[in-house]
Amino acid sequence: QVPLQHGAHRIGKRTDADMNRWRDYGLGEFIHMGLYSILGGDYNSMHYDGAAEWIRSWNKLPHEVYDNLYKKFDPKNFDPEVWARMAKNMGVRYVTITTKHHDGFCLWPSKYTDFNITKTPYKKDMIGPLVKAFDQAGIDVYLYFSVMDWHQADWRYDLKTVADSVAFNRFKTFTKNQLTELLTLYPQTKGLWFDGTWDNSWKKSGAFSDSLDQYLKKIHPGLIIGSRLRADDYGNRHFDANGHLMGDYEQGWERKIPSDYTATRGNDWDCIMTIPQNGWGYSKTWMGHWKTPYELIEMLAKCVSLDGNFVVNFGPKGDGTFRKKELQTADSIGAWMKVNHEAIYNAGYLNWTKQDWGYYTRSRKDGKIYMIVFNVPINGALKVSPAKKEHIKKAYLLQDNKTLHVEALDGNDVFIQLEQKNQQEPFVIVLETGQGGQAVEGENKHV
Ligand X SMILES: COc1ccc([C@H]2[C@H](O)[C@H](O)[C@H](C)N2C)cc1
Q: Which residues bind ligand X (CB under 6 A)?
A: 51, 53-54, 195, 254, 272, 280
Give 34 or 320: the residue with its C-beta nearer to ligand X.
Answer: 34
Q: Closer CB to ligand X, residue 51 or residue 223?
A: 51
CB of 254 to ligand X, least distance (A): 5
Closer Cβ to ligand X, 280 or 359, answer by number: 280
> What is the nearest approach in angstroms of ligand X to the Cβ of residue 156?
17
Which lies closer to ligand X via its Cβ, residue 63 or residue 256?
Answer: 256
Q: CB of residue 355 vs ligand X: minimum separation in angstroms? A: 33
Q: Whole-number minimum distance, CB 145 to ligand X, in Å? A: 11
| Least distance CB 73 / ligand X (angstroms) | 18
Strand ranges (E), 213-268: 224-225, 250-254
Q: Strand 369-373 relative to strand 427-434: parallel, antiparallel, unpaired? A: antiparallel
Minimum CB distance to ligand X, residue 72 (Å): 21
Q: In this structure, are residues 169 and 219 in contact, taking their beta carbons and an 8 Å threshold?
A: no
Cβ proximity to ligand X, 54 vs 269, nearer residue: 54
Which residues are within 8 A (CB) of 193 and not within 5 positions of it... i.e. 6 or more apart?
96, 142, 143, 144, 145, 226, 228, 251
CB of 195 to ligand X, least distance (A): 5
CB of 347 to ligand X, least distance (A): 25
Please, which residues have CB within 8 angstroms of residue 276's CB and are 6 or more apart in sequence? 283, 286, 287, 288, 289, 290, 291
* 106 contacts 177 by C-beta, under 8 angstroms: no
Nearer to ligand X among residue 32 and residue 302 (C-beta): 32
Residues 6+ apart with CB under 8 A from 10: none
Q: Give the span between the Cα atoms of 406 and 414, in whole angstroms.
A: 6
Residue 380 burial by CB count (10 A; 0-12/13-18/19+): exposed, middle or buried?
middle
Helices assigned H by DSSP within 32-143: 36-39, 63-67, 80-90, 127-136
Please give the residue whose beta carbon sits closest to ligand X in the complex: 280
Nearer to ligand X, 193 or 208 (CB): 193
CB-wise, 54 or 427, nearer to ligand X? Answer: 54
- Report the alpha-carbon distance of residue 428 to residue 360 in Å, rounded: 10
Q: Helices 127-136 & 80-90, crossing angle to 10 degrees?
A: 40
What SS3 class is residue 391? strand
Instruction: State the Cα–Cα distance between residues 116 and 222, nearest whole angstrom.
Output: 28
CA-nearest of 153, 224, 147, 155 to 183 is: 224
Q: Which is nearer to ligand X, 40 or 426 (CB)?
A: 40
At closest approach, how far in Å is the CB of 281 from ligand X?
7
**Nearest approach, Cβ of 57 to ligand X (angstroms)?**
10
Name the residue nearer to ligand X (CB basis): 225 or 408.
Answer: 225
Q: How many helices (H) and strands (E) does the chain have?
A: 10, 18
CA–CA separation, 305 vs 322, rounded Å? 30
